[in-house]
Structure 1
Amino acid sequence: MLHTVKHSTAHILIFTMTTWTGLLFFISSILSPALCIDWFSRYSHQSNISLTLISIMGGPMTDEESPVSFPYKLYRHIRRTEVQTQLVFIRESLNHIFELYHCGNLSSVTWDTSKTHHFLQSIHRQKTDLSKCVLSTKSENGRLKNYYRRLARKTLYRTAFSSASWELIRKVTEQHLEHLDLLVNSMRASAAASRRSSGPRPQKD
C-alpha cells in the first residue's frame, strides 16, 4: 500500500512540474531556446512597464475615435496560427509602434518627456530581444503593415502632427499593447494545455 502511494505521488509530481514548465519547453522546441525562454520570462514585466508608461506619460486618454478601425479580426486570426507566426506578429507590431513615434514631429505634444523616452525604450527593448530569438523566414504581414500605414496617414500626416492626432496614436497604442498582452497569455495557456494533454499521467498499480 505504501509503495502504491509513493508511486502515484511521484507521477503526480512529475505531471505538475511538466505543466508548469510546459510553455518554456513548447517554445524552446520550436525557436531559439535560450533566448526565447529569456524573452518569455521577462515579457510580463516589460509589458507592464510599457502599459504603465503609455498611461501616465500624458493626461487622460482622449475620447476621440480613431479614423482607422482597430484590427480586431487580424488579432483573432493570429490567435489561430502557429507559435512562430504569432511571435513574428508580436515583433512586427512592436516595430510598427516604435516607428510611429519616430515618423514625425513630437513637439506639439504635452507629454512628460522623460516618461515618453522611457516608454519608447521599453518598446525598443522588447522588439530587439524578440528579434534575437525568432528564427523567421516569413514575409512581413501585409495586413498589419497596411493598417499602420493608413493609421499614420489619416492621423499624423493629415493633421501635420497635431497634438490631437498624437493623442489618438497614444490611445490606439495602448489598445495594441493590451491585445498583444492577451495574445501572449493565450499562447501560454495553449502551450500549457498542449503539454498537459501529452504529458505523463498518474498510473495505478
Structure 2
Amino acid sequence: MREVMTRQVTAVQADAPFKDVAEVLVTSGISAVPVLGEDDRVIGVVSEGDLMRKEEFREQYWGESYRPPLRARLRRRLTGAGEEGARKAAGHTAADLMTSPAVTVPASASTVRAARIMDESGVKRLVVTDAEGRLEGIVSRRDLLRMYLRDDDEIRRRVIEGLEPRSRWDDRDGIIVEVHDGIVTLSGHLDRRSEAAAAVHAAERTDGIVGVRESLGWKEDDILELPLTWDRP
C-alpha cells in the first residue's frame, strides 16, 4: 500500500468550522478530507457531498417546495439516511459533518485487499492508517490503476522476488517466469503439486498483474482432492 498511496494528505481537526472545511476542499482541489480527533487518529471523513447537505436541505428548512429526487428519497428510506442527512445539514463543524467511522485500510495491506474494501464499501478512496489509527495517506482508485502501468520486465522481477524466498521449493530455479502485456506465464517442473499451487498463488498476489497462466508439472501429487460425490451411510 505504501508504494501506491498519496502521502501528502490534507486533513482537518474535528472542531474545524464548516467554512474552513469547504475552503480546504476547494483550494486543495480534493473531494474529501479525513477528520482527525485526539492523538491525530482518523475518526471520519468529510466529503463535498456532506457539505452540500446544507444546501440541499435549505429549502426544506424554509418551507419551500423542494423535494429530493425519487431515487434519493427511496435510498434514504431504505438505508435510514434521512436523519443522517438532516444532521449534517445542520452541522457547523467537521465532527458534525463527517461520515464516521472512516473506511480505512492498514498501510501494510495489499492493493488487492484495498480494491476489495473499496468495492464492498462503495467508496472511491480509502484512508490509510498505521496500527494506532493515525493518518498515513490516501489511496484512490486511480492510485490502484497505476500498478497496471508497470512494464513486463518490472512485473517479472516482482514475481520472481515473490517466488525466491520460498526455500521449501527445492527446484526453485526450474520455474520459468514469462510476462506479456501484464499476463504472467509459469512453466517448469517441480517435485510436488503443492509447490506448483503455491507458486501460482504467489504470482497471483503480485501487484499489477493482469492474470496468471500456468503449465507447471510435478512429480508427486500431494494434494488430497475430495470426491465430488459420496455415498451417504
User: Taking structure 1 as the reference length, what is the TM-score of the superposition?
Assistant: 0.22
Higher RCO, 1 vs 2 (CA within 8 Å, ≥6 residues apart): 1
Instruction: Pick the structure with greater CA Rg.
Output: 2
Higher helix share: 1
TM-score by length of 2: 0.20
